[in-house]
Amino acid sequence: MDTSSRQRPRILLHDPTLRDGHHAVGHRLDADQLRVYAAAANAAGVPVVEVGHGNGLGASSLQIGRAALDDATMLTTVREALTSSRMGVFMAPGWGTSDDLAAAVHHGADVVRIAVHCTEADVTERHLGVVRDLGAEAQGVLLMSHMTGPGELAEQCALMVRFGAQAVGVMDSAGHYLPADVTERVHAIADAVDVPVIFHGHNNLGLAVANSLAAVDAGASVIDATARGFGAGAGNTQLEVLVAVLERRGVETGVGLREVLAAADIAADRLMKDPPSIDSIAVAGGLAGVFSGFRRPVLQTARAEGVDPVDLFIALGERQVVAGQEDLIGDVARQLKAATR
């Protein structure tokens, strides 16, 4: 009997194209777009397809953008297209509530991520408990994880495990990491917990795939990636590239390469006007360590106030702004404008 496949390491790929990608299009994906990509990802054998407003359940708002569809419609549409892949959702306390979690599981969510700022894992206790009680897989992720060190991240992840998280990890929300940063942090987390470790990369400095490989080598077993990198800012780890690279490395994903390439082509054709690119704004955001989802409001505000968006990103980074503080963008822009008079 051939046991080679059993001996190969296995990585679970989690695909937030239909959630993180919403940032790139003002949260305006429609039902047909959700359906066609979900079906293609399902055909490729992608294990988990995540869907929702870019900031998660309950986040559709004037402050950060109204979604074209409500949460229930998005989840129902994608659930119907997934015959083998599991459906994932994302919720940040403060945007979403326990009622949103219950509704998501009712509409077929199998995997639920509770996401908080990298030093605020204590906020996840109630919601992780709710997810476990609802019978879905509960995961905890730390946002803006470059803003604290490996030891603190490990402690925060261990706390989420104590609260019931069945997988934990970090998001490089600003695309700020170098591979060595990822190695150090994932090693620390993997040593501190006995559940799968998650890594979610962004590509502001062109290192999302390299950082994802570093995460795998350091002990992560759940890696996020999106079709064509569709996501906030410069985009995410590119799913089809990661599948190919992991195949070269002899790492099993269960995802069909030809099929995931076809899914990526569908995403490029149906979901996005232009694929993500690493332009000057993306680089500035990555270096400054600013949440990738700030790209659109930063550009809009910079034009309105007549300031350089690179300067605005740098100033926001100095103030260590995080998701949910979009209202500060205008204040900081006006301070920059006043300082140049």
Query: Among all residues, which ones are annotated catalytic?
Result: 23
**Encoded tokens for 134:** 């609802």
225 vs 157: CA distance, rounded Å = 21
Please, which residues bridge with residue 222 across strands? 12, 198
180 vs 34: CA distance, rounded Å = 36
**Encoded tokens for 140:** 């905890």
61 vs 104: CA distance, rounded Å = 18
Nearest one of 77, 56, 40, 88 to 268, comparing CA atoms: 40
Cα angle for residues 171, 44, 248 (degrees, 5° grid): 70
Let me know: does 197 contact 212? Beta carbons within 8 Å: no
Let me know: does 145 contact 173? Beta carbons within 8 Å: yes
Question: DSSP class of residue 156?
Answer: H
Full DSSP string of 238-277: BHHHHHHHHHHTT-B----HHHHHHHHHHHHHHT-SS---
223 vs 220: CA distance, rounded Å = 7
45 vs 12: CA distance, rounded Å = 11
Q: 336: part of which helix (H) or strand (E)?
A: helix 327-339
**Encoded tokens for 284:** 């500035």
Question: Which amino acid does the sequence have at 292?
Answer: S
Per-residue CA distances from 204 to 1, 13, 270 (Å): 45, 21, 23
Nearest one of 185, 231, 222 to 55, comparing CA atoms: 231
